[in-house]
Amino acid sequence: MTANPIVVTQPELTPRQQKILGLIVQAYINTATPVSSKFIQEMGDLGVSSATIRNEMATLEALGFLTHPHTSAGRVPTDKGYRYFVEKLIGDVELPQAERNMIRHQFHQAKLEMSQWMQLAAAILARSARSAALVTAPKLENPRLRHLELLSTQSQLVLLVVVFQGGIVRQRYITVKEPITQSTLSQIAAKFNSVGHNLEVASLKTKLTDLSEFEEEVLNVLIELASEADDLPLNEIYRDGLTEVLQEPEFVSRDEANTLVSAFEQPAFLNKVINAPVGTVQVVIGGEGQWRELSACSMVLARYGVEGFATGALGVLGPTRMPYGRAIGTVRYVADLMSDLVSELYVDDAASVDN
């Protein structure tokens, strides 16, 4: 409950105002309808009349934490209100031990496969945060060559299979003008493997000299496969929970629903978190200026993996009226878990390079 350093100077609220704001936010998150002074009076036990609460609500509105859909409606939190709630009022976001165990258990039951874990992570996030969940594959940062295989296919086609440090496998077909025999290919692969073993692919360029035209091409393909920074390949994003979150009342409006679907399909906002340090959880409320069209949505995002080695992003996307506590807690926990898995599977392996 300590003050979060991110907070810009914000007006100080009296304890009662804080309590009222918190109650309103939580009530609105639960009911999705504007909350009235009477409702707060009945819910919270702050022994004052509804009129007093009305006065406080007016103050909170003047300060920009609440709004009115219309004169005779209850209050609804503004983005600023949500932000204050998330940063100051939210309290404990750790998931209860029982829930953590359940999640951990599910991961241990899955096969030792990144794709399975990502799918599982998306499913857990979606369920727990009542939102749409996205998980990107971890991207290797400076991939080292583990093993290269060149296989002759038809006369004109060569299949290149490369295993990077960490067990990431990529393949690519290469067309050649002149047929190359399998034994020649094996020799070339052996050359790459002996010279380049455990080296960063980029540095291969200096280590390998006197290359034939074909070997040049192999090298280029390797570098291309290693970087693949072009765009996060669409198929490497795992998703879940879209249909469920579309049931939320904010998405009765077709436009809102469609922008959500678009954002879910083309999640440009994931770049937001791509440069953040691993381990922190970011909360973006109402698009927060940068994604105008996502004004009705919030996101809770985190990076996971091992810094400088392999990292991915994950998070949830839902209405601003999102259960932030659960969302933050789950995103943090799942991100940590995925980081552990990445490090178990990928990193000890890289550490053995130093032997």
Partner DNA sequence: ATTAGCAGTCATGCCGGTAGAGTGCTAAAA
Partner DNA sequence: TTTTAGCACTCTACCGGCATGACTGCTAAT
In the complex, least distance from residue 31 CB atom to DNA, rounded to whole angstroms = 10
Contacts 24+ apart (CB under 8 A), 343-346: 343/305, 343/306, 345/112, 345/114, 345/166, 345/167, 346/138, 346/165, 346/166, 346/167, 346/306, 346/309, 346/310
Query: Please, how many CA atoms are within 13 Å of residue 185, restricted to the half-sphere of its CB?
Result: 22
Write out the two tokens for 306. 């091992």
Please report whether residue 238 would count as binding a copy of itself according to CB under 8 A. Answer: yes
Closer residue to DNA in complex, CB, 20/300: 20
Element (H, E) at 108: helix 97-109
Please report whether residue 57 would count as binding DNA according to CB under 7 A. Answer: yes
What's the rounded Cα separation, in Å, for the pair 78 and 138?
Answer: 35
Identify the residue among 10, 52, 116, 343 touching DNA (CB under 7 A). 52
Please report whether residue 254 would count as binding a copy of itself according to CB under 8 A. Answer: yes
Size of the site for DNA (CB under 7 A): 25
Closer residue to a copy of itself in complex, CB, 151/208: 151
Query: For residue 221, which phi and psi values (nearest 5 degrees)?
Result: -65, -40
Please report whether residue 17 would count as binding DNA according to CB under 7 A. Answer: no
Residues in contact with a copy of itself, shown as a per-residue x/- string from 320 to 349 under the rule CB under 8 A: -------------------------x--xx
Residues 6+ apart with CB under 8 A from 323: 29, 129, 130
Would you say 300 and 315 are in contact if contact means Cβ atoms under 8 Å apart? yes
In the complex, least distance from residue 68 CB atom to a copy of itself, rounded to whole angstroms = 26
Please report whether residue 55 would count as binding DNA according to CB under 7 A. Answer: yes
Closer residue to a copy of itself in complex, CB, 246/276: 246
In the complex, least distance from residue 108 CB atom to DNA, rounded to whole angstroms = 47
* Dihedral angle sign, alpha carbons of residues 218, 223, 226, 231: negative
Query: Please, how many CA atoms are within 13 Å of residue 21, restricted to the half-sphere of its CB?
Result: 31
Size of the site for a copy of itself (CB under 8 A): 43
Please report whether residue 179 would count as binding a copy of itself according to CB under 8 A. Answer: no
For residues 29-48, which are near DNA according to CB under 7 A?
34-39, 47-48
In the complex, least distance from residue 29 CB atom to DNA, rounded to whole angstroms = 16
Would you tell me which residues interact with DNA (CB under 7 A)? 34-39, 47-52, 54-55, 57-58, 61, 68-75
